[in-house]
């Protein structure tokens, strides 16, 4: 997924009100940028971080910049836009790059299912069970090369797991794709301490037949693309 316009660098002053951030550009100008991330952004909102903004000249938009990336001092990157994973996964599905789902040619986004929900992608292929695919953005890293999810309590995420389980019970496939929008992680695990209820829902869904897979990303100022599959930590038997 390529960014629509070239990004410009700056230093984060603060992120506040969930969807707003102030940034000092390299020329010293202070601008307000849209922050497309309602989560806690633990470790990604510290003052002084080097960030990259996407400018726009659309008259209907009040904010002329959108925050897209964090560049760490060690040369690694993190994407912060929670809408990006679905775009990345869609491109990867169309290119048959996700091994576990490469046999499917029919790709329909945002299909109603469950109780007043929409699945991120419904995949179809003659002779195969329909595959209901949910995508989760992952960018929490607290220890070593572990990526963790979630970074805050997510009742909505737990509900998605339950709805995927119901699709398996109905005879379909259900796949949860965790997309790690960081380049400094090699493994994935749950942040049980941040949301025990989500961890319990995850375990129930996994035992119910929901497939859990994780992929990394390749990130630079040009865009975000699917990376290599990442190890998913085994869970204790409950």
Q: Omega into 150 within 30° of 0, i.e. cis?
A: yes
**Are residues 64 and 41 located together in one domain of the fold?**
yes
Q: What pLDDT does 203 receive?
A: 97
Total number of domains in the chain: 2
**Are residues 60 and 130 located together in one domain of the fold?**
no
Mean pLDDT in residue range 99-119: 94
> The domain that contains 29 carries what CATH number?
2.40.50.580
For the chain, the distance separating the N- and C-terminal CA atoms, rounded to the nearest angstrom, is 39
Rounded Cα–Cα distance for residues 71 and 73 (Å): 7
Mean pLDDT in residue range 153-173: 96
Q: Please say if the pLDDT value at position 134 is more than 70.
A: yes
Q: What pLDDT does 60 receive?
A: 78
- Which one of 44, 60, 79 terminates a domain? 79
pLDDT band, very low/low/confident/very high, at 238 (cuts 50, 70, 90) = low
Q: Using one digit for the tens of pLDDT, what is the confidence trace for 178-223?
A: 999 999 999 999 999 999 999 999 999 999 999 999 999 999 999 9
Q: Which of 142, 213, 209, 131 is nearest to 150 (CA)?
A: 142
**Are residues 61 and 127 located together in one domain of the fold?**
no
**Are residues 101 and 212 located together in one domain of the fold?**
yes
How many residues would you count in the chain? 238
Q: Using one digit for the tens of pLDDT, what is the confidence trace for 89-103?
A: 999 999 999 999 999
Q: What pLDDT does 18 receive?
A: 84
**Spatial CB neighbours of 46, under 8 Å, sequence gap ≥ 6:** 12
- Which one of 30, 62, 79 terminates a domain? 79
- Which one of 46, 79, 112 terminates a domain? 79
**Are residues 28 and 41 located together in one domain of the fold?**
yes
Instruction: Decide if 74 is inside a domain.
Output: yes
Q: Please say if the pLDDT value at position 61 is more than 80.
A: no
**Are residues 100 and 209 located together in one domain of the fold?**
yes
Q: What pLDDT does 237 receive?
A: 67
**Are residues 72 and 92 located together in one domain of the fold?**
no
For 116, other C-beta atoms within 10 Å of its C-beta total: 8
pLDDT band, very low/low/confident/very high, at 52 (cuts 50, 70, 90) = very high
Q: Please say if the pLDDT value at position 173 is more than 80.
A: yes
Residue 16: which domain range?
A: 8-79
**Are residues 183 and 93 located together in one domain of the fold?**
yes
Summary mean pLDDT of the chain: 96
**Are residues 118 and 14 located together in one domain of the fold?**
no
Q: Please say if the pLDDT value at position 19 is more than 80.
A: yes
**Are residues 88 and 68 located together in one domain of the fold?**
no
pTM given for the model? 0.95
**Are residues 95 and 114 located together in one domain of the fold?**
yes
Q: Please say if the pLDDT value at position 107 is more than 70.
A: yes
As given in the structure block, the two tokens for residue 78 are 């993190």
For 111, other C-beta atoms within 10 Å of its C-beta total: 13
> The domain that contains 204 carries what CATH number?
3.40.1350.60
**Are residues 139 and 199 located together in one domain of the fold?**
yes
As given in the structure block, the two tokens for residue 85 are 């994973």
Over 126-185, what HEC string results?
A: CCCCCEEEEEEEECECCCCCEEEECCCCCHHHHHHHHHHHHHHHCCCEEEEEEEECECCC
Percent of the chain with pLDDT over 70: 99
Q: Please say if the pLDDT value at position 35 is more than 90.
A: yes
């Amino acid at each position: 997924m390529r960014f629509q316009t070239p990004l410009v660098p700056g230093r984060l002053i603060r992120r506040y009100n969930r969807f707003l951030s102030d940034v000092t550009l390299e020329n010293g100008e202070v601008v307000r940028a849209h922050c497309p991330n309602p989560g806690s952004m633990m470790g990604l909102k510290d003052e002084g971080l080097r960030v990259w903004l996407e400018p726009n000249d659309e008259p209907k938009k009040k904010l002329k910049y959108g925050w897209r990336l964090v560049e760490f001092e060690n040369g690694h990157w993190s994407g912060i836009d929670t809408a990006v994973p679905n775009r990345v996964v869609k491109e990867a599905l169309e290119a048959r790059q996700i091994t576990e789902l490469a046999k499917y040619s029919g790709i329909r986004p945002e299909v109603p299912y469950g109780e007043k929900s929409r699945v991120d992608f419904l995949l179809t292929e003659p002779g195969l069970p329909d595959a209901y695919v949910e995508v989760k953005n992952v960018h929490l890293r607290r220890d070593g090369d572990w990526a963790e999810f979630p970074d805050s309590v997510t009742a909505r995420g737990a509900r998605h797991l339950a709805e995927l389980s119901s699709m398996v019970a109905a005879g379909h496939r259900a796949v949860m794709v965790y997309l790690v929008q960081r380049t400094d992680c090699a493994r994935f695990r749950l942040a049980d301490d941040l949301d025990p209820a989500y961890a319990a829902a995850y375990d129930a869904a996994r035992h119910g037949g929901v497939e859990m897979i994780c992929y990394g990303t390749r990130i630079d100022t040009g865009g975000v693309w699917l990376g290599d599959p990442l190890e998913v930590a085994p869970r204790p038997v409950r």
